[in-house]
């Protein structure tokens, strides 16, 4: 038969060990450090973009950005998952640097924005490759001389600088890069591209006839 506990004796239950406070990993300091690391990574990418000799971002790798930012390639991956996201972040930073915003763009804003964009792009170390082949160099010289001659005939009293500005703008219309832009980015066929160029050249001719100097 079970004996009852003796009088005056109490059973004491040991209290469990108090749980230690959990370490706070999401502290304001850690968030600040993470933001600073990401900032260094994006700033390094922007610096690489400024250094590139051409508009080829294949050299903007996780390794190159990490070395310039002073972090490991693995750390770059931790903050930015893919190279596409890295380039998107760098491009956004370049837009911020330029002060250009395309939100709510109007035609009245375009001239100022285009000018600001050109000046900003000119700050990059993009190489400019001169025409060195004698055949193409001679053709380029002949083409520019013909344009200047045509503009001179239609602009009596204009300065040489004003004439060169007009001729340089007209020169773009027979440059292969314009045709490539119209047919690839805008997907114009030959007829539509010709229509666009004819319209723009007509506007320039009309401006000259009305005495609108650049």
On the 0-12 / 13-18 / 19+ scale of CB atoms within 10 A, 150 is middle
The Cα–Cα gap between 9 and 73 comes to 67
Percent of the chain at pLDDT > 70 equals 85
The 3-state secondary structure of 127-140, one letter per residue:
CCCCCCCHHHHHHH
pLDDT, tens digit, for every residue of 34-71?
899 999 999 999 999 988 877 778 889 999 999 999 99
Angle at which helices 28-51 and 62-69 pack, to 10 degrees? 110
Count of positions (residues) in the chain:
214
Name all contacts of 43-50 with Cβ < 8 Å and 24+ positions apart. 43/69, 43/93, 44/68, 44/69, 45/86, 45/87, 45/89, 45/90, 45/93, 46/90, 46/93, 46/94, 46/97, 48/90, 49/90, 49/94, 49/124, 50/123, 50/124, 50/125
pLDDT, tens digit, for every residue of 172-199?
998 888 988 999 999 999 999 999 999 9
Name residues whose C-beta falls within 8 Å of residue 47's C-beta, 6 or more positions apart in sequence. 68
Q: Parse the chain into domains and list their residue ranges.
A: 31-121, 134-209
Radius of gyration, CA atoms only, the chain: 33
pLDDT, tens digit, for every residue of 12-33?
444 555 555 555 566 888 888 8
At 128, is the pLDDT very low, low, confident or very high (cuts 50, 70, 90)? low
């Amino acid at each position: 038969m079970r004996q009852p506990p003796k009088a005056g004796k109490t059973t004491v239950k040991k209290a469990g060990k108090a749980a230690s406070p959990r370490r706070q990993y999401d502290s304001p300091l850690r968030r600040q450090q993470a933001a600073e690391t990401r900032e260094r990574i994006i700033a390094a990418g922007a610096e690489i973009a400024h250094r590139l000799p051409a508009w080829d971002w294949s050299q903007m790798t996780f390794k190159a950005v990490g070395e310039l930012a002073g972090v490991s390639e693995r750390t770059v991956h931790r903050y930015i998952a893919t190279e596409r996201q890295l380039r998107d972040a760098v491009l956004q930073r370049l837009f911020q640097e330029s002060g250009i915003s395309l939100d709510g763009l109007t035609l009245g804003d375009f001239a100022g924005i285009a000018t600001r964009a050109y000046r900003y792009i000119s700050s990059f170390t993009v190489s400019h490759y001169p025409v060195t082949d004698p055949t193409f160099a001679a053709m380029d010289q002949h083409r520019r001389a013909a344009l200047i001659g045509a503009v001179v005939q239609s602009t009596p009293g204009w300065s040489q600088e004003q004439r060169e500005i007009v001729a340089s703008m007209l020169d773009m219309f027979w440059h292969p890069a314009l045709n490539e832009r119209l047919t690839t980015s805008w997907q114009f066929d030959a007829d539509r591209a010709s229509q666009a160029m004819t319209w723009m050249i007509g506007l320039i001719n009309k401006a000259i006839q009305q005495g609108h100097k650049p």
